[in-house]
Structure 1
Amino acid sequence: MSEHPTDRQHRIAYRIALNVEDGATRFIDCNAGETVLDAAYRSNINLPMDCSNGVCGACKCRCEEGRYDLGDEYVEDALTKGEAAEGMVLVCQMQVSSDCIIAVPVPSAACKVKPAEHGGVVSSIERVADSTFVLRLRLDAPAAVDFLPGQFVNLTVPGTDQHRSYAFSSKPGASEASFLIRTIPGGVMSTWLATDAAVGTRMSFVGPQGSFFLRDVDRPTILLAGGTGLAPILSMLEVLADRGTEQVVHLIYGVTSDGDLVGLPRIEALAARLPTLTWAICVADRQTAQPLQGYVTEHLTDEHLNAGNCDIYLCGPPAMVEAVRTFLHDKRIKPRHFHYEKFTPSKAT
């Protein structure tokens, strides 16, 4: 007996990232012809809903990436044409035709989204700069470690009940997870890395989390990284190098001193794989041996900003984030999208 075309269609599954209000992310499979609301329910996730037939609007979310169809069964009181044009969706009506990223405007507890715990063993610990370690974990189940490039996890310090947040510098699907970890004198993670860490040590982490992640690249894109804020940018670049893009991508990587520079050979390799990538490094220390001295804002040109028709991704310390925000305000430049992540190392990091 031959297979009916609709049976074949409904076996197609797309990967949906549900990013809830407090930053936790959960991935589900959604079949062709199935609504996102039904797919979430099948995965034991309670997305906001009331009527489930496109009348009340309670299930309104935002699709940040992907292709979908909302049909014509919902009423405009539930979702206006203007909202639909801005990417708002009713998940009770939404049927997808690609992988999607959906922002859900309620916290984890309301959706019954439980943080996923993953594990692995240390495959290498390398001090790559005066202020930075690279920690690599060989993952127990790489396929189960779903995340969006740019997101972070909470990594437990072995032998303690304490955890610290670090972004992946590796790409999703890799057999090893890698992290750039800044050293802090007396810090819990720093002390462990410097004195007790050993290849083969088992570690666990919970996540992914965060709203700082790579979206579709459909216009010139600027990547700004400060210190170990380079980690999520590297993850993004790995994905872009795999996918390819015709859009210009420009990276400016800033550090305090020459001894803080990390990852330069990796950036060079990524640039070789991604022909539209240009990059520069700048060092705040006036005694730097690098060609560019100063802060990232001093090397962010009008050409890069493209009169505001650009997307900016920025990860760095709070002072850097505020400096870039002030710089854009003073130049009266409003990027199409400005995604940023501030990080403040804990005194016990």
Structure 2
Amino acid sequence: MTHRIALNFEDGVTRFVEARAGETVADASYRVGINIPLDCRDGACGTCKCRVESGRYDGGSYIEDALTEEEAAGGLALACQARPESDLVVAIPASSEVCKTRGQSFETRLRGVDRLSETSIAFTLEAPAGLAFLPGQYVNILVPGTDQRRSYSFSSAPGAEVVSFLVRDIPRGLMSAWLREGAAAGTRMEFTGPSGSFYLRDVTRPLLFLAGGTGLAPFLSMLGKLAETGCDQPVHLVYGVTNDADLVGVEALEDYAARLDSFSFTTVVAAEASVHPRKGYVTAHVTPEQLHGGEVDIYLCGPPPMVDAVRAWLTAQGVTPANFYYEKFSPSGAVTAIGESHRQAA
């Protein structure tokens, strides 16, 4: 039996490798030319220490100097000793370049474009052979007819026959303009990835998802995965937008709520002129029960001011969540590394 290992590097690049029966994480990586940090191979030096973020494994044998009991209990492992017993997600404390690898490149075709509202567009691509990603990750898509790339989170779950993305329609946005004016089904598309450290981890406690605008996309991917695998922990999403026209994807959320008993969601519109029954910012619509006294994993995706505001609000509430994963994105300009990962919306 083989197990798939997602190697997530410090620069956000993710590569997937297959571990054969009895292989360690290091063996599987080196067999395909990915040189993760390694020295002794005997569990004695600790050079290959990494964090297993999802999945089951046999930690193997090693000495205390290489990995302490406390570190092992906290999810750290030695790549030269750890043998997968299920699919794994492993955070490697080095860049992909140092490990002599890089993000993969894929070619595919545009399947379709869907105008969701005056401010939002969705588009779908045929899923290319060999594509794998973690729910919540993004890819860098080449805008046809240019040499420019734009980064978008998958809104579809891993394993789907088509992959989908959610885009804010910005009048002068490069990708937005192409989707409005030049896109045609069958157009050749290129992208690299997957990338990003904003992805769904093993669910071991309640989840609170906070989405701003097109920051809904990665949560749709996560919910697709949870609907497939099931989830016995409560999952609540607060989805905030600026104007009524920005509120898209609600039918998809209703579908996930019907399929996943543990999932619920709240929508919020900030504009005072909105006809929506709930106004304001997402923090005004998070209840103490949804914070679970801090015993909660919070995932947040939105523009930088929203991320900063939520962090300040949590501090003011005196709540420190068990885990807080976030991704900031900018509606325009170059992609920059901020927060847990980064992407661009236009």
Say yes or no: TM over 0.5: yes
Alignment of 1:1-349 (within 5 A): 12-72=1-61, 74-141=62-129, 144-347=130-333, 349=346
Helix, strand or coil at the partner of 1:58: coil
Summarize deviations over 1:217-237 as a string: whole Å, max 9, x none.
111111110000000000000
Q: Give the Å deviation of 1:212.
A: 0.2
What is the CA–CA distance in structure 2 between the aligned matches of 1:70 and 1:94, rounded to whole Å? 4
Helix, strand or coil at the partner of 1:82: helix
AA of the residue aligned to 1:211: S
Task: Give the equivalent residue in structure 2 for 1:5.
Answer: none
What is the CA–CA distance in structure 1 between the aligned matches of 2:128 and 2:87, rounded to whole Å? 25
Maintained 8 Å contact 1:29/1:39: yes
What is the CA–CA distance in structure 2 between the aligned matches of 1:216 and 1:287, rounded to whole Å? 40
What is the CA–CA distance in structure 2 between the aligned matches of 1:167 and 1:280, rounded to whole Å? 21
Q: Give the Å deviation of 1:185.
A: 2.0
AA of the residue aligned to 2:236: H
Helix, strand or coil at the partner of 1:109: coil
Summarize deviations over 1:8-60 as a string: whole Å, max 9, x none.
xxxx1001000001000000011231111111111110010111111111101
What is the CA–CA distance in structure 1 between the aligned matches of 2:305 and 2:16, rounded to whole Å? 33
Q: Give the Å deviation of 1:200.
A: 1.2
AA of the residue aligned to 1:300: V
Greater Rg, structure 1 or structure 2?
1
Q: Give the Å deviation of 1:198.
A: 1.0
Helix, strand or coil at the partner of 1:128: strand
Which portions of structure 1, spanning 4 or more consecutive aligned residues, are displaced by more than 4 angstroms? none
**Aligned residues, how many?**
335
**Which sits farther off after the overlay, 187-196 or 147-156?**
187-196
What is the CA–CA distance in structure 2 between the aligned matches of 1:94 and 1:218, rounded to whole Å? 21
Q: TM-score, normalised by structure 1?
A: 0.94
**Which sits farther off after the overlay, 182-191 or 13-22?**
182-191
Task: Give the equivalent residue in structure 2 for 1:7.
Answer: none
What is the CA–CA distance in structure 1 between the aligned matches of 2:119 and 2:141, rounded to whole Å? 19
Maintained 8 Å contact 1:250/1:304: yes
Summarize deviations over 1:302-349 as a string: whole Å, max 9, x none.
000010011111100001101110111011101111111000122484
% identical aligned pairs: 54
AA of the residue aligned to 1:98: S
What is the CA–CA distance in structure 1 between the aligned matches of 2:134 and 2:86, rounded to whole Å? 16
Compute the RMSD of aligned alpha carbons: 1.0
Maintained 8 Å contact 1:32/1:97: no
Maintained 8 Å contact 1:251/1:278: yes
Residue segments in structure 2 that go unaligned for 5+ positions in a row: 335-345
